[in-house]
Structure 1
Amino acid sequence: MFLGPHAALTNDPYPLREEAPLEGPTIEDDASIGANATILPGVHVGERAFVAANAVVTEDVPPETLAVGAPAEHQPLPERLQGGNDA
């Protein structure tokens, strides 16, 4: 799993209620969470899923899916880039 800078994994669905159980998100193997992304309590991020920077994830992200936006929407992952970074 990759967790970008300032990403937030939240675990309290009702911060003002003392009786609310804490439930953090589940992040599967090889998932990537971008910088400043927020994953809400109880959300499941599937294997090899990618959460874009600044996304706010309010529902489960299926495996091998891109989650982008606030609130995050699911999209297919783009094709892998080939070759190096030569310009």
Structure 2
Amino acid sequence: MIDAIVFKYRTGTPWMELPERFGSWKGAHNRLRMWAVDGTWEKVFTALLAQADAEGDLDWVIPVDSTVVRAHQHAAGARQKGLRPASRTTMPSDGPAAD
């Protein structure tokens, strides 16, 4: 099951196109969902991290990206310089009045 799940996410293959060697795609999909809901994945990753940390295989380097992306002032809704034009006056319609 784990190989099927890894293959699906590594290749981006839709579940229904999972190769037959992995068994039923429905079984792999349902197992992934059940393990996500009941906390199995969290337990597995926590155990793997603890084991790798105990063996000294983790450096615990956390990359921090300080990139700032700013929108153009007009895209952000900034007021434009100068006075805003007055709204156009509404002219009455020539049609019949509503009752």
Q: If the length of structure 2 is used for normalisation, what is the TM-score? A: 0.17
Where relative contact order (Cα < 8 A, 6+ residues apart) is larger, the structure is: 1
Q: If the length of structure 1 is used for normalisation, what is the TM-score? A: 0.18
